[in-house]
A and B are shown apart, each in its own frame.
Chain A
Amino acid sequence: MKKRLLAFLLITSCLCGFLSPAFAEEGLGGPPSDEAVVSQVAPAPAPEPVADSAGTVTGGAADVVGVTAGAPTAEELASMGQSEPLAAKLADVVGHNRIAINMVWVMVCGFLVMFMQAGFAMAEGGFTRAKNAGHTMAMNFMIYGIGILGYWMCGFAIQMGGVGGIASLGGAGVLNSEFVVTLFGKDFGLFGTKGFFLSGTYDVAVYAIFLFQMVFMDTTATIPTGSMAERWTFKSFVVYGFFITALVYPLYANWVWGGGWLSQLGKNFALGHGHVDFAGSSVVHMTGGVAALAGAIVLGPRLGKYKADGTPNAIPGHHIPMAIVGCFILAFGWFGFNAGSTLAGGDFRLAVVATNTMLASAAGAFSAMAYMWVVYGKPDISMIANGFLAGLVAVTAPCAFVDSGAAVFIGAVGGILLCMSVFFVERVLKVDDPVGAISVHGVNGAWGVLALGLFADGTYGDGLNGVKGTVKGLLYGDSGQFMAQVIGTVTNIIFVFVVMYVFFKVLDKIVPLRVSPEMELEGLDQSEVGVTAYPEFNLTKTHR
């Protein structure tokens, strides 16, 4: 299996010319399966790859080599060309179809993830107050538009500009430029430099991966709108939107998914397969959660959140049914998020991924329900919904590397962690997080990548990040993998928190983050976005 994969890779790289000479010489690298991402730094390959903008060249005979147990080898294909020209032509069509299936899978899953924006809008809108509903929805709406533009201008190039080729999507591998520094004789990829404004990358495979990566990035960007809801000026929110989508997220994403240094910890320092995050517990969710924490600290709690003695008041959300529907939409989109991260419809592991995703969400909801029922006497639906999402966040990194039992355990721990974290953030840190974004995404994002380092069972991920063998966690004998996960987690917390905290502090001096107390009491709808969400209702406050 492994040899076939290597052969496939090497031959494909020769044929397509999209991998570096260094890679070919080492002969080490390989995707987690025949279908996954090839992350490789490519310092100035001799012939510049030609982008396939029309989509007429992508996917061909080279893409059938080594794909299945009975697939032809490159040598067979080469010799067949003379003796059986029709078979060679058919192989070309088969290769095209293989890439087509993968392309459609990536696109459809990207569309599902895009719809998660609606889920976030409804969940955050429902868990906040009616007087701010227009403003909360407006932030959730515009982070989509801002995110796309910021990512197009700059973010995509930084994240994916040096990724090399995406083997499962064919393509010419025009994303071939990573900025690398050399320390201790090892290469540390820091950011990509190809594809600003998508220029020079007018290629169907690149456009596909842009759409898919963009919607992931936007999930991160919309997380802080929850923790900072009901008091954030729209002006400073817009600046934030460009900053996180064009710079902060793409940097960390490059380090893990774009061929950067965290993904190379395995190759360079023999720490498992480097920091592994299948669909983004750390890259997407922890980044969002840590940014949400930094933002909520700088912004301060909502007026009336804390009594004079520092004990928290409850500020109930105004539309629980909407929030719950939002959570269902998120869970639906999450199938695209996780199962889509195979980047290949032909990688049947996607069935395991999707089922694990489903199981973890159920376990997270159930454990949160049990916790709230036992400790507070009622199964608080807002916390159950958070627990449901916590299970999803936690399983996002390990979903491809564990079986169902581990997925249920990871989700269940996620639900409990969520409850404990919500109360810790609110009562000990005294940070006001209206929707629980810090606990759902930050804490469970960290738990997710660490859980991968514990429970990865060695059934998947052969050759991931250029390291031979499958991905094994601490419980299956690879302590190096766990170390890599810890390094990735700590890096995320330090990098994202420091950058976002400083950013919010500086931004506050230029464009104030916080609305005036009068506006906050009145509600942000009129003053910030000029429209009241519910103009025909009398919003009398009847609780305190």
Chain B
Amino acid sequence: MKKIEAIIKPFMLEELKEAMNSIGVQGMTVSEVKGFGRQKGHTEVYRGAEYVVDFIPKVKVEIVVAAEMVDTVVNAIITSVKTGKIGDGKIFVMPVDSVCRIRTGETGKDAI
């Protein structure tokens, strides 16, 4: 099993969710996060004085799937949220040791 963590633009969440539905992903966890990448935030002007927004609002989506699904999911995420402009985000894939469904006690793939 693998966990896929995607940091995306907040307004692309709906597209991502539709894409996941269409490939049969059963669930996801979404959080509002802030951060920066290579563009290092941006400068704004408030009342005539500049200020730097260091951390830009993003959405983090966490999805756990069976290992063989990873490429499909990653490709679907890229296709659904890519704008081609700076700040589209990143996808991280990492191993998951175990999963347990709290209600039934199921473990492993059955619990995903």
Report A's interface with B, CB cutoff 8 A: 311-316, 372, 375-378, 380, 382-383, 419, 422-423, 426, 436, 540, 542-544
Contact = CB atoms under 8 A, between A and B. Distances in A.
A314 B50 contact: yes
Given A376-B45, A378-B45, A542-B34, A314 B51 contact: yes
Given A372-B48, A376-B45, A382-B47, 7 more contacts: A314-B44, A314-B49, A377-B45, A380-B46, A380-B48, A422-B47, A543-B51
A383 B55 contact: no
* Nearest 9 CB-CB pairings of A with B: A314-B49, A542-B55, A314-B51, A314-B46, A316-B46, A543-B53, A312-B49, A543-B51, A542-B34
B31 to A, nearest CB: 12
B102 interface: no
Nearest to A377: B45
A543 B46 CA distance: 12
A536 to B, nearest CB: 14
A386 to B, nearest CB: 9
B14 interface: no
A382 B46 contact: yes
Contacts of A316: 44, 46, 51
B52 interface: yes
B54 interface: yes
A380 B45 CA distance: 8
A321 B48 CA distance: 19
Contact of B51 (A313, A377, A382, A540): A313
A298 B55 CA distance: 35
Interface string B90-103: 00000000000000
Contacts of B55: 540, 542-543
A383 B47 contact: yes
Contacts of B51: 313-316, 543-544
Interface in B14-54: 34, 44-54
Given A540-B34, A542-B34, A422 B48 contact: yes
B37 to A, nearest CB: 14
Interface in B38-76: 44-55
B interface majority secondary structure: strand
27 contacts: A311-B49, A313-B51, A314-B45, A314-B46, A314-B49, A314-B51, A316-B46, A372-B48, A375-B48, A378-B45, A380-B45, A380-B46, A380-B47, A382-B46, A382-B47, A419-B48, A423-B48, A426-B48, A426-B49, A540-B55, A542-B34, A542-B55, A543-B52, A543-B53, A543-B54, A543-B55, A544-B52
Nearest to B57: A542
A380 to B, nearest CB: 6
Nearest to B51: A314
Nearest to A419: B48
A376 B46 CA distance: 9
B5 to A, nearest CB: 20
A314 B47 contact: yes
A543 B52 CA distance: 5
Contacts of B47: 314, 380, 382-383, 422, 426, 436
Contacts of B54: 542-544
A313 B50 CA distance: 7
Nearest to A316: B46
A376 B53 CA distance: 18
B74 to A, nearest CB: 29
Contacts of A311: 49
B34, B44, B45, B49 interface centre (most CB from chain A within 10 Å):
B49
Contact of B49 (A313, A377, A436): A313
Contacts of B45: 314, 376-378, 380
Contacts of A423: 48
B48 A376 contact: yes
Nearest to A434: B47
Nearest to B35: A542
Contacts of A312: 49
A70 to B, nearest CB: 56
Contacts of A419: 48
Contacts of B52: 543-544
B55 to A, nearest CB: 4
A280 B44 CA distance: 37
Contacts of B34: 540, 542
Contacts of A542: 34, 53-55
Nearest to A544: B52
A314 B47 CA distance: 7
A315 B47 CA distance: 9
Contacts of B44: 314, 316, 543
A540 B34 CA distance: 10
A439 to B, nearest CB: 11
A107 B73 CA distance: 68
Contacts of A315: 46, 51
Residue of A313, A314, A376, A380 most packed against chain B (CB within 10 A) = A314
A366 to B, nearest CB: 18
Contacts of B50: 314
A311 B50 CA distance: 10
Nearest to A542: B55
Contacts of A372: 48
